[in-house]
Structure 1
């Protein structure tokens, strides 16, 4: 398959489709809530997808367009081509490409596309002379399925932090997940059992922020698919089991200059952080309450963000302990200097969450925000009076408060764009209202026979 209208990368994809005997292509994108969507087309449509795009009805996608303006166009990014590992043993293979969404009426990128929202943030960084690298640490639980194949909350192991078999019965599952990720181009750094029973973490190497956001969506898809092959259900729900640790997605961020130098590193600083890094960090702290609506976007997210379960709730930073919202990890080389936002969770839309964090940090740099001193003590042990003495605020305690903070924060609200911001707020307000009028099993167990 050859065409003079294709780039070298696009032509290479067509060649690989032929070599790998790929039969179907999944053209993937996400709605504003971060749910992965796909349009499947025969592989013979690949060239058309590159040159013309593939049309679809955007009115059925959460937060996209109204019914009267529903025609949208998918333009695949050839750099994201990957053969799906769980289909390779069949007679023909399936592959996926992640797409940008275009508005057919204008021919321009659709501003309601979360991938476009992140690209806008990266454009702002580029105008300031920076590229952005990111590395997330998404945690997840593996649960057994019932006889009908439905998810339970029964873990298939009794392992703890860094445990080995026989307690860590899911080590084989993690191994197969790692193999699947590597087949899709991931470079996996480490995997281990997390603190809670049934909880796991697989870390992959940092990359530019757009590639990393793409990888988060791919990671969740691969984990779920391969877990299902083992008759297990993988969930990225932040707090599926009460009174134990929840799942986070700690996100490491750094800026690099046009000449390839790490803009966050300064060996003359006590913490090896440059002035830009301190201001970037201060920007995230300044806008943290609003960011949580995006980085912790579900009612359940705030069951994780409570004191006592290793999740950060206090707006502070530290170079030593993990009770603060932001941590400065140890760096072996200048290129590794970075900041770690510890509050996001894996239920977030990674494109929107990264965009919010980047805009907040860049706002800190543009306004030369002063970074507070690090808190080296365990903030979990502070009482309210001591937190006030240190000037430490807390994150919103529920989704409703977080959405209110988002609406009041012009920087973070505007970071989502004129299309996504009101749609996102509307969806999250409705979610919180639905939660408020519901009656939980806890309430029935506690009150039904008492009153």
Structure 2
């Protein structure tokens, strides 16, 4: 195939083929011609973070073995509840994820890996296998693919600057020099695109916070829709890249849901759509169709339980109570930022053509249309503490139920903000979130998507904070609140 001259992925450019078609021989060639000296096998641990196993290349055969066989690792050090006496598990690289590492002392080839047990079968409680099973079950039962992307919000933290000072809560799409950290953001974008991550855009976000000796400046990166398995990997890679670049600039970065009592927290809004045979299945001639409403109903019906994967620390619930644009109830609306699910404004056809013509008088070029209608639904539930693989797996489970439940359309009507105003609320603590997941666990465990032992581990982790009623206590204790925020500063 012909590779676009603007293709940023160096291995794709070298090989002249898409990443999905990479073979071991292809990657060996890339190692040789790009003069790479190390292979890093990476995987997502039980804590949701990216881990690394480094191999210094000593021969061509060595590269072939690493890229083909992977390696054994200690599962008891990765996953909660794994017995040390029988903890050996395998990680096997997925060739389609290969990229040139933009960091480190030695030029390296990096690949994401999948986990397998001693019998060679997918490891049931590995998060990348959970989201894979959830996605495959949805496609098997509905014939549709769930695509998703996240809006990754984060704060860059550094010394207070007095030249072109930031204005508190005025950072939305601000430009330099009033926006701080633009260089960091642009370097992140460059690295991600060269790694094969499909991006939509990035910008400064609302949150600007000034304290006595430091400033916290909020940013956002938005990605392009891909199948949910890939969307989860993208978010983990993006967090790693943001942290690496910020660290190189001497800045701290946090994805924490709550960073201060004086400013906005960081959410992780997830957009999704259903695709069938290359077409967006949630829209029709008049906009959002019944399939889209069923998808929304599925998310809303499972919303309380989904907080167990998307809102995993006590400060998540500070964000719910204090955030200006945090969900106010389990409901949905068109372009409405107060609900848990929002249907964003989309445009196309005559409306778009009219705007283009007005902005560009005399234009005769046709208006470019995307291959797939861009309409999505936006779930505004999660934050930076989310275990993104489990969150997206849970969304796929909820979507499948919404598509199959005969009562979904009635539920969508009842939970619409159009004409209604009395809705259930999300949990107010990790403890309540655990209770919601325990009540709904049969939904997630159906068809073996979520193993029971994984659900048990999530419940134990949520209940370990023992935070029922904690938020009310913090209203009267600023020092305790600040300590809690700092304790959960480096989530995800």
State TM-score, norm by structure 2.
Answer: 0.78
Residue 116 in 1 paired to residue 135 in 2? no
Displacement of 1:225 after TM fit?
0.2
Question: What is the CA–CA distance in structure 2 between the aligned matches of 1:435 and 1:120, rounded to whole Å?
Answer: 36
* Contact in 1 for aligned 2:22/2:95 (Cα 8 Å): no
- 1:196 aligns with 207
Residue 313 in 1 paired to residue 324 in 2? no
Displacement of 1:290 after TM fit?
0.5
Question: What is the CA–CA distance in structure 2 between the aligned matches of 1:221 and 1:64, rounded to whole Å?
Answer: 26
* Contact in 2 for aligned 1:227/1:234 (Cα 8 Å): yes
- 2:53 aligns with 39
After TM superposition, the structure 1 = structure 2 runs for residues 401-412 of structure 1, keeping only pairs within 5 Å, are 401-409=432-440, 410-412=442-444
After TM superposition, the structure 1 = structure 2 runs for residues 19-418 of structure 1, keeping only pairs within 5 Å, are 19-43=33-57, 45-63=62-80, 65-87=82-104, 92-104=106-118, 106-128=119-141, 129-144=143-158, 157-158=166-167, 160-197=171-208, 198-257=217-276, 259-268=277-286, 272-306=287-321, 308-333=323-348, 335-368=373-406, 369-370=408-409, 371-372=412-413, 374-376=416-418, 390-409=421-440, 410-412=442-444, 414=446, 415-418=449-452
Name structure 2 gaps, 5 residues minimum.
Answer: 1-20, 209-216, 349-371, 482-492
- 2:454 aligns with 420
Question: What is the CA–CA distance in structure 1 between the aligned matches of 2:159 and 2:177, rounded to whole Å?
Answer: 21
Displacement of 1:118 after TM fit?
0.1
Question: Which range is displaced more, 416-425 or 241-250?
Answer: 416-425
Judged with a 3 Å threshold, the aligned counterparts in structure 2 of structure 1 residues 355 and 445 are, in CA distance, closer, same or farther, namely: closer
Question: What is the CA–CA distance in structure 1 between the aligned matches of 2:84 and 2:468, rounded to whole Å?
Answer: 25
State TM-score, norm by structure 1.
Answer: 0.85
Name structure 1 gaps, 5 residues minimum.
Answer: 1-6, 147-155, 378-388
Judged with a 3 Å threshold, the aligned counterparts in structure 2 of structure 1 residues 446 and 111 are, in CA distance, closer, same or farther, namely: closer
Question: What is the CA–CA distance in structure 2 between the aligned matches of 1:216 and 1:328, rounded to whole Å?
Answer: 22
Question: What is the CA–CA distance in structure 2 between the aligned matches of 1:436 and 1:46, rounded to whole Å?
Answer: 52
- Residues matched between the structures, number: 412
* Contact in 1 for aligned 2:432/2:468 (Cα 8 Å): no
- 1:432 aligns with 466
Question: What is the CA–CA distance in structure 1 between the aligned matches of 2:80 and 2:203, rounded to whole Å?
Answer: 36
Question: What is the CA–CA distance in structure 1 between the aligned matches of 2:328 and 2:176, rounded to whole Å?
Answer: 33
* Contact in 1 for aligned 2:429/2:467 (Cα 8 Å): no
Question: What is the CA–CA distance in structure 2 between the aligned matches of 1:248 and 1:181, rounded to whole Å?
Answer: 21
* Contact in 2 for aligned 1:132/1:253 (Cα 8 Å): yes
Question: What is the CA–CA distance in structure 2 between the aligned matches of 1:241 and 1:445, rounded to whole Å?
Answer: 12
* RMSD value, Cα: 2.6
- 1:150 aligns with none
Displacement of 1:196 after TM fit?
0.8
